[in-house]
Chains A and B, each alone.
Chain A
């Protein structure tokens, strides 16, 4: 038996298909494989000799594939994936390792392929750790180049899919990092005779250089926007300069021009003809977008701002052209007036408005750009004992990454060696750097300050906190606030309605208007078309939402949707979970009380020594308390746990009892006044433990879940905002009330089983209130989902908490205050915009139609209408940008 070097299948020797080459015989399964081999024998020989045992062997037609899998939460996930993969044909082995989060699959080449296996894993509900690479390719001239490169890439092990685009000279390649690296992919392409180059998104620069230059990756969209701005500005300047003579000669009597320039003179007629010709480049270059936009929309049977402007200026131009060329056809001489100035000025102003709008809009989306810019480009990874600088796309789970002082942490992970302080402000909004030790979580994109450390990558690619934040923000910015529905109902009808209004105004002025009717009717027609601003209406909500959501992300508040934002500002009640939300969620040492002349440090040191090897959370709190005071601990001897009572042990020859009242009674320790003191501690929500040294009562050690430093202040702020604050907890009433008193909450729901939390939220809702629930997102998921707004307090890198509408990355309750204030500010801004837009159009259009003329003799000039229209949408964007200066009121 031998193997076909082309397809890898087992072939019986002697095979009828063979080729002798360099003294060696190669045998094939079919003529097809034989022919393939004959065309390019070296590549197949090379492939055969290449040892790639780590992931793939083609020895007996069986492919071995190891794939990283993301999102494995339990051992049952393992079965699900294995089952799904085994459904595929030709699978020999499918094994998923829960601990390493790797799938190992052996399959028959030809019966299935990597893509199908990945598909099966996806179908089971999991993501494989794959990366996407965009790479530039130079030297492609035809469609066949595309298929050649694609085919070759797909043959490369580790490449899942490849799509080459000749127009953009680039390829998008999905691959599994670890199986293949970027350089190998490049080699494949270059071997075919093409040049590769890094596109902006995969610039492989060294981390240090990156820090120094802080060169932003080139954003093509930004470039396009800049270009468009420049084009519009030149169009504006062109139209603006030419509009000066137009204004001058359109109103010769107004400017008091010499007699030869007055109406009716031959010279002025020639000037007007000149202006008419001059207005052509203004219309068809400066104003070209109005015509192309209007035509494209018209073909689609829709109408937009361009339709209105194009119709307006065309009407003005046509009338003027007829008036200047064939004045004779008008019944009276005064009707032969020209409006070329309208063409010049309206085009100039509206184009200027569009340019300014682009500028302002660029600022509105700054927040997301900032987030994307936070991403590190490279990581220094330890592989096979060597330090390698690799692009961030190639970091895989469990990679050990080295971070030096001042460097950016590339992905999420857990510190395995060293310690440091880390500035996480860009992610959490917390300005004070956080200390990190072995076992602590680090967040990608945060900056290492002082120390060096190594960490294990736990989340890479799309799963990192930053990637999830970006995704959430983008989704929220694209979502629709319910208030937008009003606009949606209007906007579909807006432009055609304006057109009909313009036509009807024309008719009314023509039939009932003063002399000269035709002139008035035309002015009114053009003014109505020009003044209407559908853009302001369409922009009002989305632009504020974009700024508001972005501002939230800057402050560590992730708002899931426009709806969440809108509901958050209408809240009546806010339910706070106690543990982990108001409190730290883990006990710590609070009091050490001594008696019988024992010293505080002595009591604490001995208690901590006894508890040294216990894993009970209360014991850990005592040991940590002693560590914080730098006390020396000794190993306990004759350690004995008395279930339900406490522990006894011998430390440095001293007999120690540590436990509850029952423990002390059991060993007949006289507690004296300590018992009374312990009741007071318990009333304060603490857990007291007695300690006796050598059968004498020595004191009380009290441990409690401590309240977060700013919880009290935050709750006071929430109350000040007029919200009813309710605390919910599974703790006993006494402890719950004690905590409630300390933080200033009057309504306490205690002894609530976790599964009843949602029910309690519902009860509040039944009182007719709009209720927010704040919890940690894990135990409180049903309650968060039940509440009108669920706010999850994030824990480090877990930011995309499904059940929540708003995620607070930073653990502080102040985030809740901030989230509500931001929602209020954003909604206020949206309402201002909507009011402005509706008010502007609602007032502007009737005035333009001449509604005020019968009463005040007031009629708008189309020039004023053009200016109003141009600046109304700029105003909306500028108003939304005011939100960028939003400052929370936390006092």
Chain B
């Protein structure tokens, strides 16, 4: 086997492992949302190709208000779906669209775009 082939094999395997690690196993940065006056836990989520932040930590039982601001017109992120709560919101571009939730059970609840390509997660503790 020639040297270039060995290098390609090693490089390819290394790259594959990196892809797997980066997208699946690396720790995602979670944002802890503090409750403000009146006990509401409010967060702003920027929507552009993805959700920023996409992992948010909340406290159980307190009302949650997520303010989505979609900073793009690409149709992919037009809708945000919270299927655990049968909630859906259409995100009008460049407008603040609030989604209000109250989660009484600790756990992880996903939210995603209409097609499930762009995802985020609420961690309720």
A residues neighboring B (CB under 8 Å): 165, 167-168, 220-221, 224-225, 227-228, 231, 289, 292-297, 299-306, 354, 357-358, 361, 474-480, 487-488, 491-493, 495-496, 499-500, 503-504, 506-507, 510-511, 534-535, 537-539, 542, 561
Who on chain A is nearest to B12 by CB?
A507
Given contacts A480-B83, A493-B24, A539-B115, whether A165 and B8 have CB atoms under 8 Å apart is: no
B12 partner residues in chain A, CB cutoff 8 A = 503-504, 506-507
B58 partner residues in chain A, CB cutoff 8 A = none
Given contacts A221-B92, A510-B5, 11 further A-B contacts (CB under 8 A): A224-B73, A301-B28, A303-B23, A304-B117, A474-B88, A475-B86, A478-B88, A500-B19, A506-B8, A534-B117, A542-B115
Bound Cα distance from A632 to B26, whole angstroms: 87
Asked if A511 and B82 sit within 8 Å, CB to CB, the answer is no
A299 partner residues in chain B, CB cutoff 8 A = 50, 52
B42 at the interface (CB under 8 A from A): no
Asked if A507 and B13 sit within 8 Å, CB to CB, the answer is yes
Give the distance to chain B from A219, nearest Cβ to Cβ, in Å. 9
B106 at the interface (CB under 8 A from A): no
Give the distance to chain A from B7, nearest Cβ to Cβ, in Å. 10
List 28 contacting pairs A-B, 8 Å CB cutoff, sorted by A: A167-B96, A221-B78, A221-B92, A224-B92, A227-B73, A292-B74, A293-B76, A295-B49, A296-B48, A297-B50, A299-B52, A302-B118, A305-B76, A305-B117, A354-B75, A478-B82, A478-B83, A478-B88, A492-B119, A496-B19, A496-B23, A500-B20, A506-B8, A507-B8, A507-B12, A537-B116, A538-B117, A542-B115
Bound Cα distance from A231 to B72, whole angstroms: 12
B81 at the interface (CB under 8 A from A): yes
Asked if A478 and B81 sit within 8 Å, CB to CB, the answer is yes
B116 partner residues in chain A, CB cutoff 8 A = 487-488, 491, 537-538, 542
Binary flags per residue of B50-92, CB closer than 8 Å to A gives 1, else 0: 1110100000000000000000111110100111001110101
Bound Cα distance from A871 to B20, whole angstroms: 28
Asked if B96 and A511 sit within 8 Å, CB to CB, the answer is no
B87 partner residues in chain A, CB cutoff 8 A = 475, 478
B36 at the interface (CB under 8 A from A): no
Most buried by B among A227, A358, A510, A534: A510
Most buried by A among B1, B16, B50, B94: B50
Asked if B19 and A294 sit within 8 Å, CB to CB, the answer is no
Given contacts A510-B8, A511-B1, A534-B117, whether A300 and B50 have CB atoms under 8 Å apart is: yes
Give the distance to chain A from B113, nearest Cβ to Cβ, in Å. 8
A168 partner residues in chain B, CB cutoff 8 A = 95-96
Asked if B73 and A228 sit within 8 Å, CB to CB, the answer is yes
Asked if B16 and A289 sit within 8 Å, CB to CB, the answer is no
Most buried by A among B12, B81, B94, B114: B12
Asked if A302 and B23 sit within 8 Å, CB to CB, the answer is yes
Bound Cα distance from A767 to B118, whole angstroms: 44
Bound Cα distance from A479 to B84, whole angstroms: 7
Asked if B52 and A300 sit within 8 Å, CB to CB, the answer is yes
Bound Cα distance from A503 to B51, whole angstroms: 27
Give the distance to chain A from B78, nearest Cβ to Cβ, in Å. 7
Give the distance to chain A from B44, nearest Cβ to Cβ, in Å. 12
Bound Cα distance from A86 to B83, whole angstroms: 38
Give the distance to chain B from A290, nearest Cβ to Cβ, in Å. 10
Give the distance to chain B from A799, nearest Cβ to Cβ, in Å. 17
Most buried by A among B8, B22, B23, B76: B23
Binary flags per residue of B90-124, CB closer than 8 Å to A gives 1, else 0: 10111110000000000000000011111100000
Asked if B119 and A302 sit within 8 Å, CB to CB, the answer is yes
Given contacts A296-B48, A538-B115, whether A165 and B16 have CB atoms under 8 Å apart is: no
B15 partner residues in chain A, CB cutoff 8 A = 503
Interface size class of B (residues with CB under 8 A): 35 or more
Bound Cα distance from A504 to B14, whole angstroms: 10
Most buried by B among A303, A478, A496, A537: A478
Asked if B23 and A301 sit within 8 Å, CB to CB, the answer is yes
A300 partner residues in chain B, CB cutoff 8 A = 28, 50-52, 54
Bound Cα distance from A165 to B67, whole angstroms: 13
Q: Which of A293, A357, A503, A561 contacts B49 (CB 8 A)?
A: A293
A477 partner residues in chain B, CB cutoff 8 A = 88
Bound Cα distance from A224 to B78, whole angstroms: 9
B81 partner residues in chain A, CB cutoff 8 A = 478, 542
B119 partner residues in chain A, CB cutoff 8 A = 302, 492
B9 partner residues in chain A, CB cutoff 8 A = 507, 511
B20 partner residues in chain A, CB cutoff 8 A = 496, 500
Give the distance to chain A from B6, nearest Cβ to Cβ, in Å. 9
Bound Cα distance from A167 to B96, whole angstroms: 9
Asked if B88 and A504 sit within 8 Å, CB to CB, the answer is no
Given contacts A300-B51, A306-B49, A487-B116, whether A289 and B86 have CB atoms under 8 Å apart is: no
Asked if B75 and A358 sit within 8 Å, CB to CB, the answer is yes
Asked if A297 and B75 sit within 8 Å, CB to CB, the answer is no
Give the distance to chain B from A237, nearest Cβ to Cβ, in Å. 18
Bound Cα distance from A499 to B75, whole angstroms: 24
B93 partner residues in chain A, CB cutoff 8 A = 224
B96 partner residues in chain A, CB cutoff 8 A = 165, 167-168
Asked if A301 and B118 sit within 8 Å, CB to CB, the answer is no
Q: Which of A228, A487, A535 contacts B74 (CB 8 A)?
A: A228
B19 partner residues in chain A, CB cutoff 8 A = 496, 499-500, 503
Who on chain A is nearest to B118 by CB?
A304
Who on chain B is nearest to A536 by CB?
B115
A507 partner residues in chain B, CB cutoff 8 A = 8-9, 11-13
A488 partner residues in chain B, CB cutoff 8 A = 116
Asked if A296 and B86 sit within 8 Å, CB to CB, the answer is no
Asked if A301 and B22 sit within 8 Å, CB to CB, the answer is yes
Give the distance to chain B from A292, nearest Cβ to Cβ, in Å. 5
Bound Cα distance from A225 to B90, whole angstroms: 11
Who on chain A is nearest to B11 by CB?
A507
A495 partner residues in chain B, CB cutoff 8 A = 23
Bound Cα distance from A228 to B74, whole angstroms: 7
Give the distance to chain B from A512, nearest Cβ to Cβ, in Å. 9
B28 partner residues in chain A, CB cutoff 8 A = 300-301
Who on chain B is nearest to A362 by CB?
B75
Bound Cα distance from A638 to B54, whole angstroms: 82
Bound Cα distance from A389 to B52, whole angstroms: 46
Bound Cα distance from A556 to B93, whole angstroms: 33
Asked if A504 and B92 sit within 8 Å, CB to CB, the answer is no
Asked if B73 and A542 sit within 8 Å, CB to CB, the answer is no
Give the distance to chain B from A566, nearest Cβ to Cβ, in Å. 14
Bound Cα distance from A493 to B76, whole angstroms: 19
Asked if A561 and B86 sit within 8 Å, CB to CB, the answer is yes
Asked if B114 and A542 sit within 8 Å, CB to CB, the answer is yes
B51 partner residues in chain A, CB cutoff 8 A = 300
Asked if A302 and B74 sit within 8 Å, CB to CB, the answer is no
Asked if B73 and A500 sit within 8 Å, CB to CB, the answer is no
Asked if A479 and B23 sit within 8 Å, CB to CB, the answer is no
